[in-house]
Amino acid sequence: MFDKYKPRGCEKMLGTKRVDSMEELFSTSDIVSIHVPLNSETYGLVDEKFINLMKNEASFVNTARGKILKHIDVLYEPLRVGKLT
């Protein structure tokens, strides 16, 4: 779990492990699920750098607003070559 707004310890209630950065989370996760509001901080959050940080053959789930994607093509090539499943 990575949430810079949640206090330390809440991960224990969820029975999960906390990491200190999105980079650490992406490189170790089989599934990355995004749950963020659309605001100036999250607009365009998912870009090529974001996807490249992810573990090979990981799954990406966007439950947030579409505009957190920089553009839809960010996902096309990683899906085509099997980086994402």
- Which domains can be identified in the chain, with CATH numbers? 10-81 (3.40.50.720)
Residue 50: predicted pLDDT: 92
Predicted TM-score of the model (pTM)? 0.78
Residue 30: predicted pLDDT: 95
Q: What is the mean pLDDT of the chain?
A: 89
Residue 85 pLDDT greater than 80, yes or no? yes
The DSSP call for residue 78 is H
Q: What is the pLDDT of residues 35-71, one digit of tens each?
A: 899 999 999 999 999 999 999 999 999 998 789 999 9
Give the list of residues 6+ apart from residue 74 with CB closer than 8 angstroms, or none: 46, 47, 48, 50, 51
Residue 7 pLDDT greater than 80, yes or no? no
